[in-house]
């Protein structure tokens, strides 16, 4: 499984969220297998199948969110499950959720 983390996604309006998922459906080659809201971080964690080019997905999402400038798109290198919480590992940092 590969993962993309969208920081500040939760602050979007209902219309913006619907538009985003319509966008995801239109680029159907990047099928989201699961989505998780990270409320403490106002973020959305998207899971993609293993065979996908996650860098291409990241670039498409960055292009989509470029006009808003408030959303950061990051690739999650690894998710460590520690019982009641998880640790997301990015290239140079970790985030406990």
SS3 assignment, position 5:
strand
Given this model, what pLDDT does residue 76 score?
A: 94
What are the tens digits of pLDDT across the range 63-85? 999 987 888 999 999 888 888 88
Given this model, what pLDDT does residue 29 score?
A: 62
- Length in residues, the chain: 97
Given this model, what pLDDT does residue 6 score?
A: 94
Compute the half-sphere exposure of residue 91: CA atoms within 13 Å on the CB side of its CA.
5
What are the tens digits of pLDDT across the range 23-63? 888 776 667 888 889 888 889 999 998 888 899 999 999 99
CATH of the domain at 60: 3.30.70
Max mean pLDDT among 1-5, 36-40, 93-97 falls in 1-5
- Do residues 23 and 34 make contact, with C-beta atoms less than 8 angstroms apart? no
Tell me: pLDDT of 9 over 70: yes
> How many domains does the structure of the chain reveal?
1
Range of the domain at 62: 2-96
């Amino acid at each position: 499984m590969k993962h993309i983390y969208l920081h500040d996604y939760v602050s979007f309006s209902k219309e913006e969220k619907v538009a985003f998922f319509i966008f995801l459906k239109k680029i159907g080659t990047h099928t989201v297998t699961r989505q998780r809201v990270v409320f403490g971080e106002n973020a959305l964690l998207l899971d993609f199948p293993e065979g996908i080019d996650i860098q291409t997905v990241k670039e498409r999402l960055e292009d989509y969110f470029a006009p808003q400038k408030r959303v950061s798109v990051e690739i999650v290198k690894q998710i460590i499950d520690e019982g009641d919480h998880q640790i997301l590992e990015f290239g140079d940092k970790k985030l406990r959720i």
